[in-house]
Amino acid sequence: MGLKSPCEEVALKVLPMIRGELARELVERGLSKKEVAEILGVTVAAISQYTKGKRGVLKDERIRENIKDLAEEIVSGKIKGDDLSRKICEICGMIRKNAEQS
């Protein structure tokens, strides 16, 4: 297999970690799996896997705190749409930066 671009790494590893953590946070805050799937643009089956910890497990506590804050903003209606996408990109950048420093 050839060299993977940074975007491929993000799509395969980083985004599932962010989505998984965010899905678990949103379900814990009372949103249905269907609502979370719609917000994150994935299937309900994917949300089920995320909430069971079968995919998208994030271990960095600082990043998890950022995702908890983001979940609270989503639930309160303070962030959605393009702003949500930008925030996910910021979190992705933090994860990638941490990986580069390790």
Specify the pTM: 0.86
Instruction: Give dist(CA 39, CA 48) in Å, integer.
Output: 14
Within-domain flag for 1: no
Instruction: Give the domain extent around 76.
Output: 6-101
Within-domain flag for 34: yes
Instruction: Report the pLDDT value the prediction gives residue 96, as an integer from 0 to 100.
Output: 82
Within-domain flag for 18: yes
pLDDT digits (tens, 9 = 90+) for 79-101: 988 999 999 999 998 888 887 77
Q: What are the CA-CA distances from residue 21 to residues 2, 11, 44 (Å)?
A: 30, 15, 15
| Percent with pLDDT over 90 in the chain | 60
pLDDT digits (tens, 9 = 90+) for 68-79: 999 999 999 999
Instruction: Give dist(CA 55, CA 17) in Å, integer.
Output: 7
For the chain, the domain total comes to 1
What residues contact residue 4 under an 8 Å CB cut-off, 6+ apart?
12
Mean of all residue pLDDT scores within the chain: 88
Within-domain flag for 82: yes
| Residue 102 banded pLDDT, cuts 50, 70, 90 | low
Residue 41 pLDDT > 70:
yes
Report CA 84 to chain centroid distance, whole Å. Answer: 11
SS3 of 42, please? coil
Cα angle: 78, vertex 81, 85; to 5 degrees: 100
Instruction: Report the pLDDT value the prediction gives residue 85, as an integer from 0 to 100.
Output: 92
